[in-house]
A and B are shown apart, each in its own frame.
Chain A
Amino acid sequence: MNNIKQDHASASTEFNKDEAHVDWHDETLWFVRSKRDKAVFQIPEWEQLREAGSQIKNHVLSNMHDYLVEFEKKATENGIKIHWAADGQEHNEIVYSIIKNEGVNRMVKSKSMLTEECHLNEFLKEKGVEVIDSDLGERIVQMRQEPPSHIVLPAIHLKRAEVGETFHQHLGTEKGATDPQYLTEAARQHLRDTFLSRKVALTGVNFAIAETGGFVVCTNEGNADMGVHLADVHIASMGFEKIIPKVEHLGVFLRLLARSATGQPITTFSSHFHKPRAGQKMHIIIVDNGRTKQLGRPDFRNSLKCIRCAACFNTCPVYRRSGGHSYHTAIAGPIGSILAPNLDMARNADLPFASTLCGSCSNVCPVKIDIHEQLYKWRQVLVQEGHVSSVKSLGIKSMSTILSSPSFYRTAGKLGRFLMKNSPFMTNNNLNVWYQHRDMPDVPKESFREWFIREKGGK
């Protein structure tokens, strides 16, 4: 994997240079969180629904092999071709081989975070295949050659004026246009032409149903349907954890997904695919790419329950103020921070530390992933595996020595307070990161312990 340009702390410092923009970003995402609250408080049994979603997913994780085999069998009987990909590279090569087989060099693709994770677009571009993302947000960031900053709202980091400028450059809209109606109409016309002319369409998969071999794709724009209904070939890419046992379980997950994501009762389009229509070919690529490894980590396996609703992004006070790109992974936010170290510990060692462990993420998670507890556990793993700086390591070791010994602790406390009181320049300077934007606490004349001994005679 490539090295990252900036770690989360540096990228966030950069992002925070424009405070008005941070405020706007925070309020926009808080608005989505508030919509989610409104929607879920209308469902008295919401917590039971979360529990059901969690239990179904736990059951799937413990019976993954059987459900995958069942799904493959049923889907194959339905006339769908199943492919298995061990990693992103294999997935990309399978997609390319299907496109090449059709004798085309263009493809339309609806939202699939898996293809972002596998870097499919870059791979196909190198092979001379043009991919057009048909989700509006994804299309915007694609034009700007940026990765999505949010898994449900890929262009949420951009303001209208920035979208207007991008469309002016790429779609020839009027310079300075910011009217959403005008801009979406331009995107609509552009994408309509794409839908009509592409023979191969790729979609993601939200839920794959073992008992039927069918799958469900959820969108708000209908772009997945437009793509595949007009194409001769439908490729659906899925991480293997998308499996659910039965159709009836959709009644749990479809209710959870959109409410958690955007506060809608259900996505505008929940499209059920079972078999290719006459003359059409349908492929499903089932991808591992590190999932087996994660499934084998007892502390982290249940991160695979994730249904990619992004509720944890919207509620995360750190994400809202640092922006998705500061996470330098396809999936940002709290869930991304517990998934990414599994793929590459060295590259993503900063992410589990990009959290205050406030726990709001775990509370909004519709499938009850203990996200903040896994962030804590990843920190322990990353330190044990040597992925923290030696300076930090030395600092913490000294702190541990002091705090493990009552006499060291008392001496250090006394010395610290003495210095703060008599030589404030030692702490009140810019080398002290705390002091850059915060004053130090007032120094009391005695510690609590000293007061206690004086007042109570130490009893």
Chain B
Amino acid sequence: MKVALFIPCYIDQFYPQVGIATLQLLEKLGCEVIFPLNQTCCGQPMANSGFEHLNKDCDNNFVENFKDFDYIVSPSGSCTLHVKEHLHGSDEQASTHIRKHLYELSEFLTDILKVESLSVQFPHRVGLHQSCHGQRGLKLAQMSELVAKPFSKTEHLLNMVDGLSLMELDRKDECCGFGGTFCVTEEAISVKMGKDRISDHTRHTVEYITGTDVSCLMHLEGILKRQGSAIKVKHIAEILNG
């Protein structure tokens, strides 16, 4: 299966190891992975700030890079959701094709590759941060507000990892406060929300916080490091790749 990899800009620049883990994991699972070299960003930073109207060129660049693929995979729920909801390049047919064929990594593994086992180990206590856009937007897991049967694509995958103990949290799907430009325009609340998420993980003695979005993890990592905490963050691809 031929898969195009969409690596969000901040992963490309600051967390290349997440891109590498995603690529290696997909290759291990038998995919032929292609990385279109002229990709930049999904446009979400501008759009969430109210400047969606400036995204035409950014959208066109995205379409140009990804229009020829039937499977596009990204290790970010948030960027994936943004593209699925808001990508409108000049070529609307190609844009629609991309919106329908873009997958967040854990949903691609679960729904398309139907992965049922992985031979990796991660003998640690892990707390799962359910990033809102992946969870409530892409519906990667049952949401605590809705009356419905529980399911979780991310937990399903993490449970295949040998030795990994998934720790229960008090608030299993509360936002970490990153929120894009919110993290600087509403700094006080953003940091407080991050600190409170970390307290929940700390109370439940996790060694690693994982999730489907590096943006949230970067925010939490920034606070953890400032606090001198021993808790580390790892993107789910890094754990699943072993």
The residues of A with any CB-CB pair to B shorter than 8 Å are 8-9, 12-13, 15-16, 19, 22, 26, 30, 37, 40-41, 43-44, 46-47, 315, 317-318, 321-322, 353-360, 362-364, 376, 379-380, 382-384, 388, 392-393, 396-397, 399-400, 403-406, 409, 413, 416-417, 433-434, 436-444, 446-453, 456, 458-459
Contact = CB atoms under 8 A, between A and B. Distances in A.
Given A315-B145, A396-B46, A451-B20, 6 more contacts: A13-B187, A26-B196, A400-B46, A404-B61, A434-B184, A447-B16
A317 B177 contact: yes
A62 to B, nearest CB: 25
B80 interface: no
A444 B147 contact: no
A359 B188 contact: no
A423 to B, nearest CB: 17
Interface residues of B, number: 73
A417 B49 contact: no
B147 A437 contact: no
B94 interface: no
Given A43-B147, A317-B177, A439-B222, A380 B41 contact: no
Given A356-B175, A441-B221, A44 B9 contact: no
Interface in B1-44: 7, 9, 11-17, 19-20, 23, 34-35, 37-41, 43
A446 B223 contact: no
B11 A404 contact: no
Contact of B193 (A321, A357, A417, A449): A321
A400 B58 contact: yes
Interface string B202-242: 00000000000000001101110110000000000000000
B176 to A, nearest CB: 8
A43 B14 CA distance: 46
Name the prevailing secondary structure of the B interface residues.
Answer: helix
B147 A355 contact: no
Contacts of A447: 12-13, 16
Contacts of A450: 16
Contact of A403 (B7, B40, B223): B40
Contacts of B137: 359
A47 B145 CA distance: 10
Q: Which of B11, B177, B179, B219 has the most CB of A within 10 A?
A: B179
B68 interface: no
Nearest to B38: A406
A363 B146 contact: yes
Contacts of B16: 444, 446-448, 450-451
A317 B175 contact: yes
A251 B40 CA distance: 52
B151 interface: no
A315 B174 CA distance: 9
Given A403-B9, A437-B226, A12 B145 contact: no
B79 interface: no
In order of increasing CB-CB distance, the 10 nearest A-B pairs are A438-B222, A356-B179, A383-B50, A404-B57, A379-B50, A448-B19, A363-B145, A358-B175, A359-B136, A358-B132
